[in-house]
Structure 1
């Protein structure tokens, strides 16, 4: 087996089509087919089931793809380690939930950039912990802030922050006794705060008049500030203009939440990421 075979298997596994994998790798389709057959003969297993519309990994094929991904990731770490100059530089890609992006996190990010100007910071926004976890595992980002409960297998927690969530409305708007009459603004499915909202409404026997789904914190806060809807979020999201909102407490079981900064477990840590984690822990920022 050659290292290029690793890329072929991963490309075919991702796309489910030999033709698409060949195009991605700039190989002839016949070459990709031949290389797969050679691997199958070498290991005496069938890696893919062939169908008119594409290919599907067999059980052994899925195992092969998993090993191939580990090998490719190790090679990536080796390359990064050898090229690391020992001082923060290059690109630092951080995944961040909307709630953290709107908070005092930006203050520490600014301090980091001033301290380490050779680092180019790239922020990847998401509302779903599952999306951020996948991006870490796919080596698309170096680490991420994840809100709420998340599967931590394969991840290393570098920092953990406790926060509380509350019902947030426009100041002096509909009192909390009339929650059955209001609309709620939420992020798309997968957002932990949407899950809290849905559990709260179910627990209270309430049916939201209208569930407004938005994808950015700016739009969410605009809905609340204008009086269109209520939301359930950490109070940190309104720290810039707290005077325009009213905050209502939730029952104890809905109140507490956690935001963690995680990276890939057993993954190479660049100088840029290492210093970012150290600064984060030094500042002990609460979102």
Structure 2
């Protein structure tokens, strides 16, 4: 077993296709197939089940996949550590919450791109749970998530502080009025969103039963539906302050245990901290300090 075998294995597992893996790795399908078969012979177990739609991992393959990703990342880190000299450069693959992207990242990204033009950055959005998993699995170099963080492989640093509020239609006068709404719905991001979990806990404490949540992937869609009276949500005050000023929604304060949340920047404990990563965290810290000074 060598690093190339593991790279081929990871690509096939992720794409579910020998042909697509070959295209990504800039080789031919017969080479990918031969490497996977040789790896299976060496291990003495099948790693993939073959079917008409492609391939899927066997239980043995599923157990092996996380280690293949870590080994590939270690090799990449070793190469980066040896060549990471001078001004920050190279690739930086990051993730963020939708709310953080909408509210906080624009000045950070603008400053960073101006200061370090040699860094090639890509950004994806997700929930706190999915982003933490992707960082732990080495699919992302780092990510902004909502705290707290409880993962043995990850390091988190508080970057921003947010105040959460319940967001409702203007016709809802108070949190107490929610109990009188028949078939109350919550409008939230998909499962794994920490704001969604906090809203569920808040409503449970109030003894309010809700219908099946409505899931959206867009912050604008959530705010629009709440304003239309379709349901309620829980979001950072700064994200919805503009909609409240325009009288599109109403905001309701909640108890501190549900209100206060820190946005963390997370990365793997054992990952090499590149010049690009170090610079990005420093720029993020600087933006936070600027916000505190302006408050």
**Residue matched to 1:99:** 99
Displacement, 1:150? 3.7
**Residue matched to 1:213:** 215
TM-align CA RMSD: 3.2
Displacement, 1:27? 4.3
- Summarize deviations over 1:75-97 as a string: whole Å, max 9, x none: 11123334435212333322110
Q: 1:119 to 1:206 in 2, by over 3 A?
A: same
Q: Is the 8 A contact 1:136 1:142 kept in 2?
A: yes
Q: 1:50 to 1:251 in 2, by over 3 A?
A: closer
**Residue matched to 1:175:** 173
Q: Is residue 2:39 matched to residue 1:36?
A: yes
Q: Is the 8 A contact 1:165 1:255 kept in 2?
A: yes
Displacement, 1:203? 1.9
Q: Is the 8 A contact 1:91 1:120 kept in 2?
A: yes
User: Residue 257 of structure 1 aligns to a residue in which SS?
Assistant: strand
Q: 1:227 to 1:27 in 2, by over 3 A?
A: closer
How many residues matched?
278
**Residue matched to 2:144:** 145
**Residue matched to 2:238:** 236
Displacement, 1:222? 1.5
**Residue matched to 2:270:** 266
- Summarize deviations over 1:95-121 as a string: whole Å, max 9, x none: 110121121332222222222233333
**Residue matched to 2:90:** 90
Counterparts of 1:41-60 in structure 2 under 5 Å? 46-48=44-46, 56-58=58-60
**Residue matched to 1:222:** 224
Counterparts of 1:181-192 in structure 2 under 5 Å? 181=181, 182-192=184-194
- Summarize deviations over 1:203-239 as a string: whole Å, max 9, x none: 2121336743211111111123344432211212124
TM-score, length-scaled by structure 1: 0.80
Q: Is residue 2:7 matched to residue 1:7?
A: yes
User: Residue 102 of structure 1 aligns to a residue in which SS?
Assistant: helix
Q: Is the 8 A contact 2:159 2:285 kept in 1?
A: no
Aligned structure 1 segments of 4 or more residues deviating by more than 4 angstroms: 11-25, 49-55, 61-67
**Counterpart among 173, 197, 200 of residue 199 in structure 2:** 197
Q: 1:169 to 1:269 in 2, by over 3 A?
A: same
| Structure 2: tracts of 5 or more residues without a match | none
Displacement, 1:262? 0.6
Q: Is residue 2:158 matched to residue 1:159?
A: yes
User: Residue 190 of structure 2 aligns to a residue in which SS?
Assistant: coil
